[in-house]
Amino acid sequence: MPKLFATGNSEISSREKRNMERARKVASQGMVLLENKGVLPIDKSVKTIALFGNGARRTIKGGTGSGDVNSRFVVNVEQGLEDAGFSLTTKAWMDTYDTQVETARMGYFGELQQEMAAKGMAAVMKIFTEPFVEPAISGVSQKEIDAMKADLAIYVLSRNSGEGKDRTPGAGDYELSDTEKTAIANLANAYGNLIVVLNVGGVIDTKFLRAQEGIGAILLMSQAGNIGGHALADVLTGKVSPSGHLTTTWAENYEDYPNAKTFSHMNGDIHDEYYEEGIYVGYRYFDTFDVTPAYPFGYGKSYTTFDVKTEEVTADAKQISVKVCVTNTGATYSGKEVVQVYYSAPTGKLEKPYQELAAYAKTKELAPGESEELIITYQVDRMASYDVQRASYVLEAGTYYVRVGVNSRATKVSAAVVLDQETVTEVLSNRLVLDCEMNELSSADVTPYGYAEEEAEKEQACKLDIASTDIETKTVTYEETNAEIAANTSEKKITMQDVMSGQATLDDLVGQLTIPEMAELCVGTSRGNMGGDTAIIGSSSAVVPGAAGDTTSLMIEDRDIRNLVLADGPAGLRLSKHFKADAEGNVIPGTSDAPIPGMDLLMAGSPKPEIPEDAIDYYQYCTAIPIATLLAQTWDVDAIKECGDIVGEEMKEFGVTLWLAPGMNIHRNPLCGRNFEYYSEDPLVAGKCAAADTLGVQQHAGVGTTIKHFALNNQEDNRMHTNAHVSERAAREIYLKGFELAVKEAKPMSIMTSYNLINGIHSANNKDLLTAITRNEWGFDGIVMTDWGTTGGMEMNQGMEFKYGCSSAAGCIKAGNDLTMPGKQEDVDEIIASVGAKDGDVVCPITLGDLQTCAKRMLNTIMKSSAYME
């Protein structure tokens, strides 16, 4: 009888209540106060609120696609304010907008149903590439303002995005629409203290909001999970003092980003992406090239004020330590402050950004007048730069200035660390060689950002000397081939229990497996295709409805090799909320609710399954935690770890082994449709956040994270076939560094490769990336898996002609990509045919040792998983 982990009780559980309250506390810590003219927190005399905007009732908890979470309910802004005790005067306005949205939504899915009838299930991909967009608000007239008069007005502006499609820089997306501007202007003029709440997952243009008279406050709510309305109310009322800081630079104009004209669809070429800005990403660009942002990296206000004083900086050959005293200098409100430590490296042979984030810390809740001393440390070798000519990380001789502040445009020089001679910190091998001529951005003749006191601070800074001879040099050894495991001819059939009890080794077990058995082990279990009998867009698990997929269960009976269950994220588990099973515990196909919003409408005309009279209802309600960007904006690794703990607990409850999260690609450009799933433009922040998330999840034995998308998945248009052309230095210092930090600090159970090519080689087939860098350099010992459909059969852009094709299943094995998901029979057949084949006979010949190595890693992960923890 199959084991079902779901509950038969439909009532809200104590776990749901507890985890939503935990998520609520974290969400409020990551909201960023951008502007405040004394309007916030809301005065206790306010009893009625005029609530407008497309996010007032239709509040977005998180983006679309695999990033969605099917929680029991969503607390929107409307409910959050009402539960906080306010009376809302604009119910009729929200009702009207609801009707407009639902009419447009039914029309969208009606057209999609007609296209499905003509083209089949391939049309479903339009949910990703041409998603439903809610219509613009009808506006807010003076007549409506007068009729719905209240003590205070709040306008909630929402933006949504997701996988498969990048954003646009125009009105209604990156910029405000004319209708939104008119509504906000009317409300600002009428009230004089309008509060604008930004329910957005990424950057938007704020020029209009900052210039409009009568706007009293701008608060970045972000997308806060299914309890977000309550978290927002906590901040608006002062129950929680905002302490979030931005983890991405918000430019004055979209054109200010260095890749504004060439990103994704902006230049008409979605096949090749040239990373010409090199290392100058985010604040590294804005500070180095002295481009003034609307809001700098690390920015965030509070209801109180703080004094941040650097008391001491010490340094030796291994570590730099900064002692900072933070005091709440306000008289009324408690609050938390984020202290950021940067360094400025000397420019020698290698160009350097004006400054780079080295470490950070957040204070506890400080009462008015209260102080806290923080000790913030970072490793000296973190300041090294990658020299492609020598394939090494190098600390060039000169002065490294240590800077302390609360955002990238508010740092002060606190110390000068002087290195006597150049030294190499790590000797590597170039593994991501640029495949074309490319003129990278240079700062050679550029005057960087500066401030009046800077030179004096440098002169007065304490000098700390470090001898290059005291700095350790590491040299990496690479394993280029996979040794073959000897065949085990024992008559006894070795099982996983034999290995776990010490009666046999994993090599003994692998040595008994046939090539077809190992191929099955390295390919997921979906044998249908998009919309076939067994798989519907990332929802192909046979045992946990709504989960994204499973590994093979073909060897459970004879070898007790159980299967892993993989579920999407990254803002919680994406499972079906409800399904039915027969009395024997077999899930009845077609009874689970749609894991992707809108699929229920598309499948409305499908034949209904026969439901036995003794069928049992099961439920899988999960917590939608805040999106990754909001988590990062807390600058609090303990808070992020707590959200990981929420997910880990629910994984254990519902039988999920691997969470397909966290996403941790870099915010290279604000138009990336999936930025909400990612943490930051800075690799240190991304790495620290992913490590904290992973540690939270993996404190639950047997379950783990899958950090993704590895690597350079920084655009969504044509994401399955884009070639990212990038220098090795930029790749290592910006786009891989966060993954490296997460691997070394938290040891995630898995890594997911991206669809795109890197310098002409598919990420999934890139041995230099997956074996040389990930395993040999970083010491990763988990499994690597593909994203869904990397080897073909799950095309997102139907009908498009592609410059680059798909990756190869055998190529995955050769590269060290252990698991091809969701899996199809062609993948298994290709792997089997490629073992021992000659060049020219197959797409990618592999050795028996290659396949055995991947199979062994799969078995090692399965053995350590919760599948064996009853």
Q: Which residues are catalytic?
A: 787
The sheet carrying 272-274 orders its strands as 272-274, 723-725, 757-758, 761-762
- Using alpha carbons, list the distances in angstroms from residue 30 to 168, 372, 625, 670, 773: 26, 21, 12, 19, 33
SS3 content of the chain, % helix, strand, coil (to 5): 30, 20, 50
Interstrand relation of 356-362 and 338-344 (parallel, antiparallel or unpaired): antiparallel
Q: Where are the beta strands (DSSP E) in 137-269?
A: 152-158, 194-199, 215-220
The distance of Cα 657 from the centroid of its chain, to the nearest Å, equals 19
Q: Residue 276's closest CA among 446, 444, 434?
A: 434
Question: Rounded to an integer, what distance in angstroms lies between the CA atom of residue 756 and that of residue 343?
Answer: 33
DSSP 722-767: -EEE--HHHIIIIITHHHHHHHHHH--SEEEE-SSEETTEEGGG-H
Alpha-carbon distance of 283 to 681, in angstroms, equals 8
Nearest by Cα to 737 from 408, 390, 385: 385
- Dmax over CA atoms of the chain, in Å, equals 87
- Select from 350, 306, 308 the least CA-distant residue to 329: 306
Strand order in the sheet with 423-427: 385-387, 392-395, 423-427, 474-475
Unique residue bearing structure tokens 């949910």: 127
264: alpha, beta or left, given left = phi > 0 and alpha = psi -120 to 50? Answer: left
As a whole number of angstroms, the distance between CA 575 and CA 595 comes to 6
Say how far apart CA 631 and CA 718 lie, in whole Å: 28
Distance CA 771, CA 475 (A): 16
Place of tokens 């994993």: 506
Opening angle at CA 26, ends 21 and 31, nearest 5: 125
The 3-state DSSP class for residue 138 equals coil
Beta-carbon count within 10 A of 483 CB: 10
Distance CA 744, CA 710 (A): 15
Residue (of 381, 364, 382) closest to 373 by Cα position: 364
Residues 48 and 35: their CA atoms lie apart, in Å, by: 22
Spatial contact of 667 and 685, defined as CB atoms under 8 Å apart: no
- The CA distance from 69 to 371, in Å, is 40
Task: Pull the structure tokens for residue 405.
Answer: 């502040």
521: its two tokens: 């082990």
**Do residues 166 and 78 touch, judged by C-beta distance below 8 A?**
no
* Cα 349 from Cα 422, distance rounded (Å): 11
Residue corresponding to tokens 């009428």: 190
Strand partners, 758: 724, 761
Q: Please answer whether residues 613 and 535 qualify as being in contact, where contact means their C-beta atoms are separated by less than 8 angstroms.
A: no
Retrieve residue 160's tokens: 């949504």
* Rounded Cα–Cα distance for residues 732 and 740 (Å): 9
The owner of tokens 């008559």 is 491
Whole-number Å distance between alpha carbons of 530 and 739: 30
Angle at 32 between CA 27 and CA 33, to 5 degrees: 130
Closest by Cα among 405, 376, 407 to 309: 405
